[in-house]
Amino acid sequence: MGNLKVPFFNYPHIFTSKEETFLSVIQDVCCRGAFIMQKDLADFEQHLADYTGAKYAVGVADATNGLQMGLMAGGIKPGDEILFCSHTMVATAAAIHFNNAIPVPVEAGSDHLMNPSSIEAAITPKTKAIMPTQLNGRTANMDAIQAIADKHGLMIFEDAAQALGSKFKGQSAGTFGVASCISFYPAKILGCFGDGGAVLTNSEDVYRKLLLLRDHGRDENGEVVLWGLNSRLDNLQAAVLDAQFSDYQHVIDRRRGIADLYQEQLGKLEQLVLPPTPSSDPDHFDVFQNYEIEAENRDELKVYLAEKGVGTLIQWGGKAVHQFRKLGFTQTLPFTEKLFERMLMIPMNMSLSDDDVQYVCDSVIEFYS
């Protein structure tokens, strides 16, 4: 088997795959001088809301800002505790921290998402919200999480940065709680050419506050009515994102097809635990932002694949959020910590050909044989 080069992510492909379209969009926006909060942004926000079924979508500078502003608009107060799954990017906890609230990590489950059974033990009189991360393009068990929230009178906020298009029982990720964030980082399924994000909400009051918060607290008349931030999705990026929306379902279908190919080739290896297949659970519609496996001899496999020209990634640098002790966390989460000794992401993106996927699979099989 000759060596190929299969990078974990091919960043130039984002642009070169639709170069003519993107150049046309860029020229149009720039020639109009439409750079900040113009019609392109409003159109994209409406299309995003329509696609997800949310009542409102607000474009912001990035998903971390979006999550922080969602908490602010949703009424989180200093000292409030918010439960989050420790298998997430540190940005999830940072959004809580910079609202002067307290991030409380809980366990991941076998699906690598928030484990509902770990939530109630972490609830205290200060707990005000639950924040599941809809990770890797999969939505958590929101029935179980909602039942706990209802029982204890808690709000739900979602970190849906990786989950645009994912659904649980037909409902889109990002539409279950008070507010959620979506990321348009270039490596996301719907990515722009830099940082970008959006907040989804079904609350008109939260929506109105978000419009103020993202633009220095200014209302439609330019009057400053509250302390705000500068966190607007650039109009040019919004136009670039909107240009991709017409093809978005094809992108999701292809990613689900790649997941099927991985399952077909690797599903019988006893040394691996693969993500659920696209058709394995009617309650879940997964979009496979990432393809995160569990692997025996994970570190050796990673080195071997690198030697074969296959790029891989261990998410979050190999640590759950609670393992960053300098941030003040003291919790021990045994299941999540064990996961982080085994987890590895293999290539999952639109630059992959079927031959690339086959080569990745052949290389993994060769390692274990």
Residue labelled with tokens 């909060």: 37
Last residue of one domain, picked from the residues 192, 214, 245: 245
Structure tokens at 291: 């393809």
The answer to the question of residue 3 being in a domain is: no
At what angle are helices 204-213 and 63-73 packed, to 10 degrees?
130
Residue labelled with tokens 């990017």: 89
My answer on whether 217 and 336 are in the same domain is no
The answer to the question of residue 1 being in a domain is: no
My answer on whether 81 and 167 are in the same domain is yes
pTM of the model: 0.96
d(CA 314, CA 127): 31
Last residue of one domain, picked from the residues 245, 266, 291: 245
pLDDT of residue 168: 98
For residue 37, what is the domain's CATH number? 3.40.640.10
CA distances from 44 to 50, 166, 175, 188, 210 (A): 10, 19, 17, 17, 16
Our CA angle for 284, 82, 107, nearest 5°, is 55
Tell me the pLDDT tens digit for each residue of 126-176: 999 999 999 999 999 999 999 999 999 999 999 999 999 999 999 999 999
My answer on whether 214 and 164 are in the same domain is yes
Cβ neighbours around 28 below 10 Å, total:
14
Residue labelled with tokens 């293999």: 346
Tell me the pLDDT tens digit for each residue of 305-363: 999 999 999 999 999 999 999 999 999 999 999 999 999 999 999 999 999 999 999 99
Cβ neighbours around 245 below 10 Å, total:
16
How many structural domains comprise the chain?
2
Query: 167: left (phi > 0), else alpha (psi -120 to 50), else beta?
Result: beta
pLDDT of residue 246: 87
Q: What single-letter DSSP state applies at residue 274?
A: P
Cβ neighbours around 39 below 10 Å, total:
12
CB under 8 Å to 273, separation ≥6 — which residues? Answer: 293, 294, 295, 342
Q: Which of 289, 285, 71 is nearest to 181 (CA)?
A: 71
pLDDT of residue 114: 98
CA torsion angle for 3, 5, 7, 11 (degrees, to 10)?
180
Q: Containing domain of residue 251, as a range? A: 247-368
pLDDT of residue 2: 65
With a cut of 50, which residues of the chain have pLDDT below it? none
My answer on whether 196 and 267 are in the same domain is no
d(CA 319, CA 336): 9
pLDDT of residue 274: 98
Over its C-alpha atoms, the chain yields an Rg (Å, rounded) of 21
